[in-house]
Amino acid sequence: MNFTPLFKPKTIAVAGVSLSNERHPANVIYNKIHLRYPVKVYPVNPKGGTFKGDRVYRSMDEIPGPIDLAVIAVRADHVPEILAQCIRRNTGGAVIVSGGFAEIGRADLQEQITVMAREADFPFIGPNCLGIYAPGRFDTFFLPGERLVRPTPGPVGFVSQSGGVLVDQMVKFTEQGLGLSLAVSIGNKALIREIDLLRHLASDSETRVIAFYVEGFGRNEGRAFVELAAGIPKPVVILKAGKTTEGGRAVSSHTASLAGDYRVFSDVLAQHGIVEARSEFELTCFCESLSHYPRGIDGNVGIITVSGGHGALASDICAGLGLRVPRLSEEAQRELRAGLSDNIRAIASLGNPVDLTGSAVDEDFVAAFSVLSQAREVDSVLLLLLPYSPGISSDLGARLSYVHQQAGKPLVAYVPHVEKYRILIEGFELNNVPVASSIDGAAFMMEAMRRCRPC
Question: Distance between CA atoms of 87 and 14, rounded to whole angstroms?
Answer: 15
Look at residue 173 and give its three-state secondary structure: helix
What does the pLDDT profile of the chain (455 residues) look like in tens digits?
899 999 999 999 999 999 999 999 999 999 999 999 999 999 999 999 999 889 999 999 999 999 999 999 999 999 999 999 999 999 999 999 999 999 999 999 999 999 999 999 999 999 999 999 999 999 999 998 888 999 999 999 999 999 999 999 999 999 998 999 999 999 999 999 999 999 999 999 999 999 999 998 888 898 899 999 999 999 999 999 977 555 445 544 444 444 457 888 888 898 888 999 999 999 999 999 999 998 889 999 999 999 999 999 999 999 999 999 999 999 999 999 999 999 999 999 999 999 999 999 999 999 999 999 999 999 999 999 998 889 999 999 999 999 999 988 999 999 998 888 999 999 999 999 999 999 999 999 999 999 886 54
Q: Given this model, what pLDDT does residue 453 score?
A: 65
Residue 383 CB: number of other CB atoms within 10 A? 28
Please report the domains of the chain, with CATH numbers, ordered by start residue.
Answer: 1-124 (3.40.50.720), 149-292 (3.40.50.261), 296-451 (3.40.50.261)
Question: Distance between CA atoms of 428 and 203, rounded to whole angstroms?
Answer: 29
300: DSSP letter: B
57: DSSP letter: B
pTM here?
0.91
Look at residue 11 and give its three-state secondary structure: strand
Q: Given this model, what pLDDT does residue 258 score?
A: 46
Question: Distance between CA atoms of 129 and 47, rounded to whole angstroms?
Answer: 25
Q: Given this model, what pLDDT does residue 255 score?
A: 46
Question: Distance between CA atoms of 293 and 279, rounded to whole angstroms?
Answer: 21
Report CA 432 to chain centroid distance, whole Å.
17
For residue 20, give the nearest of 57, 61, 51 by alpha carbon. Answer: 51
Report CA 154 to chain centroid distance, whole Å.
10
Q: How far are the Cα atoms of 2, 94, 446 from residue 296, in angstroms, in the given order?
A: 33, 38, 9
Helix (H) or strand (E) holding 277: strand 275-277
Q: Given this model, what pLDDT does residue 257 score?
A: 46
Q: Given this model, what pLDDT does residue 113 score?
A: 98
